[in-house]
Amino acid sequence: MADTLTAPPAAPAPPTAVDEAALGPGHPLGETVIEVRNLSKVYRDFWGRKKVRALNALSLDVKRGEVFGLLGPNGSGKTTTLKMLLGLLFPTEGSIRILGKSATDVSKNEKIGYLPEESYLYRFLNAEETLDFYGRLFKMTKAQRRAKTDELLKLVKIEHARKRQLKEYSKGMTRRIGLAQALINDPEIVFLDEPTSGLDPNGRADVKDLILGLKAQGKTVVMCSHLLAEIEDVCDRIAILSGGELKLLGTVDELLRSRGETQIVTPELSPEALAEVQAVLAKHHVIAGVTQPKKTLEDLFLRTVSEAEARPGRTFSAQDLPGEVPPADDDLPGTTSAGIPPESADKV
Ligand SMILES: Nc1ncnc2c1ncn2[C@@H]1O[C@H](COP(=O)(O)OP(=O)(O)OP(=O)(O)O)[C@@H](O)[C@H]1O
Ligand SMILES: [Mg+2]
């Protein structure tokens, strides 16, 4: 049917809900493991006077097995949010439930891993000693600590430097040992604040694989990053914060789908085949193997942030950002990856 060619008009998701249909069938999402309601944080100065409202009325849910990305410009409240989820900061208002417990309940931390924005590792320990130290904090036996250390040093690819003191580590190597530390307790939920900062492209690819590996094991990952391509590749859903407020929330697939356009993906077509396709399009408006083209997450991010500045106090859905192509009135595709302009079908 021709109408299968056009993007279904997507209703904006309610602010906190996980659109499970958009995640695709069989997506291994479980119960809600993080529930944030109306969360606000005001930093105060030494005298208790209000200094900065870092977060304002944030509400969202994260499901088990999800990779969730928190995006936003510098100072938009991402790290503040993570720290409140971890119970390292007290909210000014609002509530957080993690694995059914309050964020301030320290017993939940046994099942949580955290890579902070800045490393807080002991510079005079080597990699093995570092992981052994954190293993002890989680009361792992000596044999468990040894096995886990070997596994994690291999995973983050710093086995060759296992005996070197961390003060001699490069920035990227420090990030890698930080990641290993975050996974020492085999956590159910992992919070990663800028996991690839300081990493080279290979290191970034390794971290991407590592996150996808965690997801494959059914772990939940919440991460902040300014590297949008990386977020786009690994995250199921994203939230974009600006000025401490949630501006956009949804699945990456849904948010990046270009509405009002149709993309036809085929192997390279011969001129004859292309002419036949055009003829068929013109005659029936029906074709197999059609997908919707994607815009980049970088583009979506930049437009959301600039719109947030231009129209303060608003929350957006993907459709009402400027530059969106409205859904087509008829079934004829607007553009195709095969380079068929809309008018050419009429000419056949
Ligand atoms: N300890 C603090 N005391 C006072 N203000 C703070 C404190 N920590 C953060 N802020 C302020 O809160 C706001 C949010 O900061 P936060 O670190 O959460 O931002 P972020 O989104 O993680 O930014 P970045 O991308 O630079 O890491 C900023 O205006 C920041 O200056
Ligand atoms: Mg931060």
Instruction: Please tell me the predicted confidence (pLDDT) of residue 324.
Output: 60
* Token reading at 71: 């995006």
Instruction: Please tell me the predicted confidence (pLDDT) of residue 29.
Output: 58
Task: Name which of 295, 289, 238 is nearest 261 in CA terms.
Answer: 295
**pLDDT tens by residue, 10-48:** 334 444 445 554 444 444 557 999 999 999 999 988 777
**Residue written as token pair 């060619």:** 5
Between the CA of 75 and the centroid of ligand 2 the distance, in Å, is 7
Examine the domain organization and report whether 126 and 69 are in the same domain.
yes
Examine the domain organization and report whether 132 and 231 are in the same domain.
yes
Say if 48 falls within a structural domain: yes
For residues 56, 61, 65 and 69, what is the CA-based torsion angle, rounded to 10 degrees?
-30
Q: Which helix (H) or strand (E) holds 241?
A: strand 237-242
Instruction: Please tell me the predicted confidence (pLDDT) of residue 338.
Output: 45
Between the CA of 301 and the centroid of ligand 2 the distance, in Å, is 17
Examine the domain organization and report whether 224 and 268 are in the same domain.
no
Q: Determine which residue's CA is closest to atom 7 belonging to ligand 1.
A: 43
Examine the domain organization and report whether 206 and 270 are in the same domain.
no
Mean pLDDT of 204-214: 89
Which position has the higher pLDDT, 284 or 344?
Answer: 284
Which position has the higher pLDDT, 58 or 12?
Answer: 58
Say if 158 falls within a structural domain: yes
Q: Determine which residue's CA is closest to atom 24 belonging to ligand 1.
A: 74
Cβ neighbours around 37 below 10 Å, total: 16
Which residues make beta-bridge pairs with 222? 68, 191
Instruction: Please tell me the predicted confidence (pLDDT) of residue 134.
Output: 94
* Token reading at 225: 């990053």
Between the CA of 43 and the centroid of ligand 1 the distance, in Å, is 9
Task: Name which of 35, 50, 145, 136 is nearest 84 in CA terms.
Answer: 35
How large is the C-alpha radius of gyration of the chain?
A: 23
* Token reading at 317: 């859905």
Instruction: Please tell me the predicted confidence (pLDDT) of residue 345.
Output: 34
**pLDDT tens by residue, 252-294:** 988 888 777 666 777 777 888 878 877 887 787 665 555 555 6
- How far is residue 45's CA from residue 155's CA, in Å, rounded to a whole number? 42
Instruction: Please tell me the predicted confidence (pLDDT) of residue 23.
Output: 47
**pLDDT tens by residue, 225-258:** 988 888 999 999 999 999 999 999 999 988 888 7
Task: Return left, alpha or beta for 161; rule: phi > 0 is left, psi -120 to 50 is alpha, else beta.
Answer: alpha
Nearest atom within ligand 1 for CA of residue 76:
21
- Evaluate if residue 326 carries a pLDDT over 80: no
Query: Which of 186, 202, 235 finishes a domain?
Result: 235
Examine the domain organization and report whether 185 and 94 are in the same domain.
yes
Ligand nearest to the CA of 240: 1
Instruction: Please tell me the predicted confidence (pLDDT) of residue 319.
Output: 73
Between the CA of 153 and the centroid of ligand 2 the distance, in Å, is 26
Instruction: Please tell me the predicted confidence (pLDDT) of residue 133.
Output: 95
Nearest atom within ligand 1 for CA of residue 41:
12
Between the CA of 137 and the centroid of ligand 1 the distance, in Å, is 28
Convert 116-151 into a string of H (helix), E (strand) and C (coil): CCCCCCCCCCEHHHHHHHHHHHCCCCHHHHHHHHHH
Instruction: Please tell me the predicted confidence (pLDDT) of residue 332.
Output: 38
Say if 185 falls within a structural domain: yes
Instruction: Give how far Cα 101 sits from Cα of 58, 104, 116, Å.
Output: 18, 8, 22
Examine the domain organization and report whether 195 and 335 are in the same domain.
no
Ligand nearest to the CA of 192: 2
Beta strands in the chain (DSSP E): 32-44, 50-63, 67-71, 93-98, 101-102, 112-115, 189-193, 220-224, 237-242, 245-251, 263-264, 290-291
Examine the domain organization and report whether 153 and 269 are in the same domain.
no
Say if 295 falls within a structural domain: yes
Instruction: Please tell me the predicted confidence (pLDDT) of residue 292.
Output: 56
Compute the mean pLDDT over every residue in the chain, rounded to the nearest whole number: 81
- By most ligand atoms within 8 Å of CB, the mutation choice from 42, 45, 78, 301 for ligand 1 is 78
Between the CA of 245 and the centroid of ligand 2 the distance, in Å, is 15
How sure is the predictor about 79, in pLDDT bands with cuts at 50, 70 and 90?
Answer: very high
How sure is the predictor about 316, in pLDDT bands with cuts at 50, 70 and 90?
Answer: confident
Residues lining ligand 1, Cβ inside 6 A: 43, 51-52, 54, 72, 74-80, 117
Q: Residues with Cβ within 5 Å of ion ligand 2?
A: 78-79, 117
Mean pLDDT of 106-132: 91
- How far is residue 310's CA from residue 306's CA, in Å, rounded to a whole number? 6
Between the CA of 214 and the centroid of ligand 1 the distance, in Å, is 28
Nearest atom within ligand 1 for CA of residue 52:
5
Q: Which domain holds residue 65?
A: 28-235
Domain count, the chain: 2
Nearest atom within ligand 1 for CA of residue 244:
14
**pLDDT tens by residue, 128-175:** 999 999 999 999 999 999 999 999 999 999 999 999 999 999 888 999
Ligand nearest to the CA of 51: 1
Say if 281 falls within a structural domain: yes
How sure is the predictor about 298, in pLDDT bands with cuts at 50, 70 and 90?
Answer: confident
Task: Name which of 232, 286, 296 is nearest 264 in CA terms.
Answer: 286
Examine the domain organization and report whether 188 and 283 are in the same domain.
no
Which position has the higher pLDDT, 178 or 266?
Answer: 178
Examine the domain organization and report whether 94 and 221 are in the same domain.
yes
Examine the domain organization and report whether 177 and 135 are in the same domain.
yes
Say if 13 falls within a structural domain: no
Contacts of 270 (CB under 8 A, 6+ apart): none
Between the CA of 54 and the centroid of ligand 1 the distance, in Å, is 6
* Token reading at 311: 């129209």
- Evaluate if residue 189 carries a pLDDT over 80: yes
Between the CA of 227 and the centroid of ligand 2 the distance, in Å, is 13
- How far is residue 131's CA from residue 161's CA, in Å, rounded to a whole number? 13
Q: Determine which residue's CA is closest to atom 1 belonging to ligand 1.
A: 43
Say if 337 falls within a structural domain: yes
CA end-to-end span of the chain: 20
- By most ligand atoms within 8 Å of CB, the mutation choice from 42, 76, 81, 238 for ligand 1 is 76
Say if 252 falls within a structural domain: no
Q: Determine which residue's CA is closest to atom 19 belonging to ligand 1.
A: 75
For residues 337, 343, 345 and 348, what is the CA-based torsion angle, rounded to 10 degrees?
-130
